[in-house]
Structure 1
Amino acid sequence: MSEQPQVPQHFEIQKVYLKDVSLETPNSPMIFTEQWQPQTEVRLETGATPLTEDLFEVVLTVTVTSKIGERTAYLAEVQQGGLFTLRGFPEPQMGHMLHAFCPNLLFPFAREELASLIGKGGFPAVLLNPINFDGIYMQRLQQQEAEAAPVTAH
């Protein structure tokens, strides 16, 4: 048996771009007259779509919702996209590259856009802490493995 020649690993950023951006301030301007002690929630999503054999679009969606009590001060969302060339990565490593490594590269762009957007809405700046995409990815894998494990009755 002859083995397939190993393709050398290659990674390259082709483009980083804003795919979608939105800011909703449903209770302005009255929200500006209130005492500012908001509860802020941050939601993250990642997605990867193959465009060709070795070109992938990775989209990181970051949603920040800020409420005062039950009233929404603002909802800001950024979909930060990137085109990446990935070649020669084995399947398990490919998932990590697309759902952890690439989102790590996109996050600073999304964070900057969100800070600008929220500031333009008239609200105090929000500084998002770094995100451990590697940890999130590993947690998701463990959760999928646990869900796929057969349930045995005793």
Structure 2
Amino acid sequence: MPVYPKENRKLAEKILESGGLLLSTYSNGTKLFPQYLAARDEWQSGLSDGVIVIETGIKGGTNITVGHAIKQKKPIAVLDHRQFKDGELAEIKQFQGNVKYILENKADPIYTEHSIAIFDKKICNSKIKEETKEDVQKINVSSVYAQEELFE
């Protein structure tokens, strides 16, 4: 079973041994092409309640995941490197994407236990809204069927 990145192979085996599941958009043995990673990134955000970015530059795969999370209306948080070492870390290339998402209000900055707790609460509220939306849709569908029966 091919796993990318290969450093995660032991983790993948451990997941399977413990009864877990590995998902892929492609059949086993499919040769990996870079564009396939974008599909994986969409699944990562789609199957998640929210996305937390530890580090990302202006370019890179993490930005694809964040883009999908934005489209999917998932809560997004990024580690705010401006809060450490008097802001020096924010100048590092690998953290520029984090800063960008904060400045564009596309992600919540996290850097303390309190800010993480606030983001966790946002995820919970997002899940409640989604569950409520699904319940309302079910009610609306039931109501339509009931109305149709009246006119038969």
TM-score, with length taken from structure 1: 0.26
Which of structures 1 and 2 has the larger relative contact order (alpha carbons within 8 angstroms, sep 6+)? 1
Give the helix-richer structure, 1 or 2.
2
Give the strand-richer structure, 1 or 2.
1
TM-score, with length taken from structure 2: 0.26
